[in-house]
């Protein structure tokens, strides 16, 4: 005999979830996409810029193309939606100034485009669609544990993420939750260190480790009585000192060494 409880349980396990991940071809986005693909009743839409098997090719900076993607998206078959933006470059700014700044806003144009414009192009129409269709959505963005310090050598990145933070706080609603995962240096599947070619990676976390640490929080967001959350995820480094991000002369020397420029000038605009 099927009881009410059995029926309720069946309905709950049959609920379909949609997870949209931008930047799913590598690094953090790929690691989360791999995890969500292993979950039952979960449809993963992984998006990237290039043409890759199993992924949707979409240029997030092409606003009409992103609007069209959202227009075609049928969210009614899903119980809830997670949207994760795992796109956004960072560059070292040795003179504390943006490498490229055609609009003169003090933020590097490429950093702003990938971290802010690309994110908003997708988030705004998607959130509007979930509002119209009365579907719950959790919007996930990935910041840095250093953002609160606004380190001048990557000020474009921190300022871009702080714009995203303000936006995420502003959009919370009955159906909208948002979370920022603040991470330390995180390696992709190829242990890519970008410009910090000489860095000691003993205490860097892998994207897979980040997923393992954070997934309990992400999966529990629906039950949380709070619509905005930020959590730091890093590998504990016993050598980390309180002044790491605030002692700027020391930090500069550390990064100069990590980037292989000891005693030399660091060129502007190196990706980190």
Q: Work out whether 195 is an interface residue with ligand NAP (CB under 6 A).
A: no
**In 3D, which of 139, 150, 152 has the Cα closest to residue 229?**
139
The residue (of 100 and 131) whose beta carbon lies closer to ligand NAP is 100
Alpha-carbon gap, residue 34 to 250, rounded angstroms:
38
Q: Work out whether 49 is an interface residue with ligand NAP (CB under 6 A).
A: yes
The residue with its CB nearest to ligand NAP is: 27
Q: Work out whether 144 is an interface residue with ligand NAP (CB under 6 A).
A: yes
Residues 86-125 that bind ligand NAP (CB under 6 A): 86-89, 114-115, 118
Q: Work out whether 28 is an interface residue with ligand NAP (CB under 6 A).
A: yes
- Select the span of 12-20, 81-89, 227-235, 247-255 touching ligand NAP (CB under 6 A): 81-89
The residue (of 133 and 254) whose beta carbon lies closer to ligand NAP is 254
Phi, psi of 17 (to 5 degrees): -115, 145
The answer to whether 190 and 148 have CB atoms below 8 angstroms apart is: no
The residue (of 101 and 188) whose beta carbon lies closer to ligand NAP is 188
CB of 49 to ligand NAP, least distance (A): 4
Options 56, 61, 120, 148; binder of ligand NAP; rule CB under 6 A: 61
CB of 47 to ligand NAP, least distance (A): 6
Helices 155-170, 118-132: axis angle to 10 degrees equals 10
* Per-residue exposure over 123-138, b if at least 16 CB sit within 10 Å of its own CB, e if not: bbbbbebbeeeebbbb
Options 50, 77, 190, 223; binder of ligand NAP; rule CB under 6 A: 50
CB of 111 to ligand NAP, least distance (A): 9
Alpha-carbon gap, residue 220 to 170, rounded angstroms:
22
The answer to whether 259 and 198 have CB atoms below 8 angstroms apart is: yes
Phi/psi zone of residue 10: left (φ > 0), alpha (ψ -120 to 50 degrees), beta? Answer: alpha
Q: How many helices (H) and strands (E) does the chain have?
A: 8, 11
Q: Work out whether 186 is an interface residue with ligand NAP (CB under 6 A).
A: yes
The residues binding ligand NAP (CB under 6 A) are 22-29, 48-50, 58-61, 86-89, 114-115, 118, 142-144, 183, 185-186, 188
């Amino acid at each position: 005999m099927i009881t009410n409880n059995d029926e309720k349980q069946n309905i709950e396990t049959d609920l379909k979830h949609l997870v949209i991940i931008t930047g799913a071809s590598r690094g953090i986005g790929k690691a989360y996409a791999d995890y969500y693909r292993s979950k039952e009743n979960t449809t993963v839409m992984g998006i990237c810029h290039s043409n890759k098997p199993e992924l949707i090719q979409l240029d997030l900076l092409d606003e009409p193309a992103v609007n069209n993607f959202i227009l075609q998206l049928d969210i009614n078959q899903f119980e809830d939606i997670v949207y994760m933006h795992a796109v956004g470059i960072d560059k070292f700014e040795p003179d504390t100034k943006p490498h490229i700044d055609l609009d003169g806003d003090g933020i590097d144009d490429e950093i702003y485009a990938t971290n802010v414009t690309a994110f908003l192009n997708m988030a705004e129409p998607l959130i509007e669609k979930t509002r119209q269709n009365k579907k719950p959505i959790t919007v996930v963005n990935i910041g840095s544990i250093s953002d609160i310090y606004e380190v001048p050598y990557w000020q474009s990145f921190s300022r871009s993420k702080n714009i995203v933070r303000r936006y995420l706080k502003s959009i919370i609603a009955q159906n909208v939750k948002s979370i920022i995962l603040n991470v330390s240096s995180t390696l992709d599947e190829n242990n890519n260190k970008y410009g910090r070619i000489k860095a000691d990676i003993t205490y860097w976390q892998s994207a897979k480790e980040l997923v393992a640490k954070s997934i309990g929080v992400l999966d529990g967001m629906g039950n949380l009585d709070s619509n905005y959350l930020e959590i730091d995820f890093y590998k504990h480094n016993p050598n980390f000192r309180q002044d790491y991000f605030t002692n700027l002369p020391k930090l500069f020397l550390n990064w100069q060494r990590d980037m292989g420029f000891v005693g030399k000038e660091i060129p502007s605009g190196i990706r980190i």
